[in-house]
Amino acid sequence: MREIQLSLNKTQKIRLQRALEKLESLSSKVNANASVTIADSIPVSYEDGVLKGHGTLDLNGEVVATVCGVVERVNKLVYVRTLRARYKPEVGDIVVGRVSEVAPKRWRLDINYSQNAVLMLSSMNLPDGIQRRRTALDELNMRSIFEEDDVICAEVRGLQHDGLHLQARSQKYGKLERGQLLTVPPYLVKRRKQHFHHLEQYGVDLILGCNGFIWVGEHVEAKDDMVEDQVNKPKSQNIKSNSNSGTLEEQERTYTPIGTRQNICRIANAVRVSATLGFNITAEVIMETVDLSSSLKLDIHEMLGSEFCVLVAEGEAERRSINKKG
């Protein structure tokens, strides 16, 4: 992802500092008792048989924090959840990754984790949409489904002996095309019930990967084109469909209108601004940033300027203060 280099003048530095201090004060009031830094003591009751978890240490008869974060308590377990950490996959996470290798019966994906994830051929829908056992022919045709550098959306299945396994057994998962892949710190993307967002007014799909990979692309209907092609075309024509992908009709079908491209770039820049300021990446925050840029009648490239970043920080501070008063 393109990094934003902020060159602030004195006035902008003061404004940005005030906005960030206001945001920090609003957040610290909410988590004042739960936030700890290194060597802070954590109040616990030893009579309840407390269990010390990650980020804690027993020192001179008291529990102290070894990392900066928020104190979490689950029954008797006390641990510190770090605010900034690498991506730690959990079962059911929605992730976006890039294919790094096509191996026997599996694809290996880069998902911003300490190791590549594995997507087995048996853990995804085949293009024909039929549920059946995978054959040797399916394995030979793996590159016709996904190949190196393809961007894929999948779900975390679990950690097994040979690595982290993914699955893509729904129409909403699969190959992503005609868009931008952005990388943000994973801790900025919180786990929510909905990670797929269709921004109808812009004709754009937004996928917030829990691993910090965010996809902004042209909206695609959740349907299987291969099934329609097999119904409407002879079998011999289906086999040759890949070789004729450069025809004029195919180019028209995959053409992205200039307006949609501009919307993709504007939304992508909104993600970049939010990540630079350290805001949690949500569809609401992104849309507010996009609406602000549109109301100011800014060009897409002007969203990466210093003044707009300061305005976004000030607007977010004002919004949170109003919500807190309300």
Considering the domain delimited by 86-176, tell me its CATH architecture.
Beta Barrel (2.40)
pLDDT score at 281: 92
Phi, psi of 163 (to 5 degrees): 125, -170
Residue 219 has pLDDT above 70, yes or no: yes
The reported pLDDT for the residue numbered 250 is 60
What's the whole-number average pLDDT of the chain? 83
Q: How far apart are the first and last CA of the chain?
A: 37
**Domain ranges, ordered by start, for the chain:** 86-176, 178-235+257-326
Would the pLDDT of 2 be above 60? no
Average confidence (pLDDT) over 138-147: 88
36 — phi, psi (to 5°)? -135, 155
Query: How far is 67 from 54, CA to CA, in rounded Å?
Result: 9
The pTM assigned to this predicted structure is: 0.79
Residue 234 class from Cβ within 10 Å (0-12 exposed, 13-18 middle, 19+ buried)?
exposed
Cβ density class 187-202: b for 16+ within 10 Å, e for less:
bbbeeeeebebebeeb
Confidence at residue 217, expressed as pLDDT on a 0 to 100 scale = 93
Higher pLDDT, 85 or 96: 96
Confidence of residue 235 (pLDDT cuts 50, 70, 90): very low
Give ∠ CA 280-172-93 in degrees, rounded to 5.
45
CA 278, CA 208: separation in Å to the nearest integer? 16
Q: What share of the chain is helix, strand, coil (3-state, %, to 5)?
A: 35, 25, 40
Q: Averaged over 164-186, what is the pLDDT?
A: 91
Per-residue pLDDT band at 288 (split at 50, 70, 90):
very high
What is the DSSP track for 193-258? S--EEEETTTTEEEEE-TTSEEEEEE---S--HHHHHHHHS-HHHHHTTTTTTTSHHHHHHTPPPH
Task: Give pLDDT, residue 226.
Answer: 38
Q: Which strand (E) or helix (H) includes residue 98?
A: strand 94-103
Interatomic CA distance for residues 94 and 188, integer angstroms: 14
% of residues, the chain, pLDDT over 90: 40
Question: Tokens 């940033």 map to which residue?
Answer: 289
pLDDT, mean of residues 112-128: 86
pLDDT over 70 at 78, yes or no: yes
**Residue 19: both structure tokens together:** 């906005």
**Is 227 or 103 the better-scoring residue by pLDDT?**
103
Residue 18: which H helix or E strand, with range? helix 10-30
pLDDT band for position 249 (cuts 50, 70, 90): low
Q: Is 219 exposed, middle or buried (0-12, 13-18, 19+ CB in 10 A)?
A: middle
- Higher pLDDT residue, 170 or 34? 170
Report residue 86's pLDDT band, with 50, 70 and 90 as the boundaries. confident
Tell me the C-alpha distance between 214 and 294, whole Å.
22
Comparison of pLDDT for 5 and 134, the residue scoring more: 134
Sign of the dihedral through C-alpha 218, 221, 222, 226 = negative
Average pLDDT over residues 250-277: 87
Q: How far apart are CA 92 and CA 323, in angstroms?
A: 31
Higher per-residue pLDDT: 296 or 233: 296
pLDDT in tens, 15-67: 888 988 888 887 654 444 577 888 888 888 766 678 888 889 888 888 888 88
Can you list the positions of beta strands (E) in 129-273?
151-160, 163-168, 174-176, 179-183, 196-199, 204-208, 213-218
Q: State pLDDT tens for residues 94-117.
A: 999 999 999 999 999 999 998 999
Q: What is the mean pLDDT of residues 122-131?
A: 74
Residue 278 near residue 83, CB atoms below 8 Å: no
DSSP string, 81-94: EESS------TT-E
Q: Which residues pair with 213 in a beta bridge?
A: 183
Q: What is the tally of helices (H) and strands (E) in the chain? A: 9, 17
Residue whose structure tokens are 């096509």:
102
Give the amino acid at 127.
Answer: P
